[in-house]
Structure 1
Amino acid sequence: MANNKSAKKRIEINKRNRLNNRFYKSSVRTLTKVFLKNLEIYKISKNFNDREKLQNLLNSIYSLLDKGTKRKVFHKNTAARKKSKLANSLKII
């Protein structure tokens, strides 16, 4: 347990930052799973509405990755790798 004021403050700041980082990481993982599930649906249906839905999901994932990179949650190469992988999975179809 912390004994002085600055150590207690650092504990609180670390807790706050951990929750913020967790929000970005879990949101990206969740949206990626939803994207991949909808991608499988689109492979079968080839429906234009499904394609638009995929593009909207991809845009929101990009947004979260960019914001997380700006706030130092993700390394810039990690974000670029994830974005590239998702874009290629949509492009191949």
Structure 2
Amino acid sequence: MANHKSALKRIRSNEAKRLRNKYQHKTTRNAVRSLRALEDKTEAQAALPKVVAMLDKLAKNNVIHQNKASNLKSKLAKHVAAL
């Protein structure tokens, strides 16, 4: 058990941030999965900027690495262009 008031606060804030990061990461992974599943090019082109923004936000907040976000964005852009 924590001995300091600040440590207790840190435990609470860490848990809140962990849950927020987990939610955003899972939501983004589902968005990437649904974008890959799309067959219609116009739908995919409309969805791509939203997914890219989600990936950028995760990378900015250090939930995922910047290079991973870049690799995913590149692969998704290739996929949409190939439709």
TM-score by length of structure 1 reads 0.78
> How big is the shift at 1:24?
2.0
1:1-40 to 2 correspondences below 5 Å: 1-38=1-38
Per-residue displacement from partner, 1:49-85 (whole Å, max 9, x unpaired)?
x222111221111010111222222211111011111
Q: 1:71 aligns with which of 61, 65, 72?
A: 61
Match for 1:85: what amino acid? K
Superposed CA RMSD in Å reads 1.4
CA distance in 2, matches of 1:74, 1:56: 24
Question: Aligned residue pairs: how many?
Answer: 83
- Tell me, which stretches of 5 or more residues in structure 1 are unaligned? 43-49
- Tell me, which stretches of 5 or more residues in structure 2 are unaligned? none
- SS at the partner of 1:73? coil
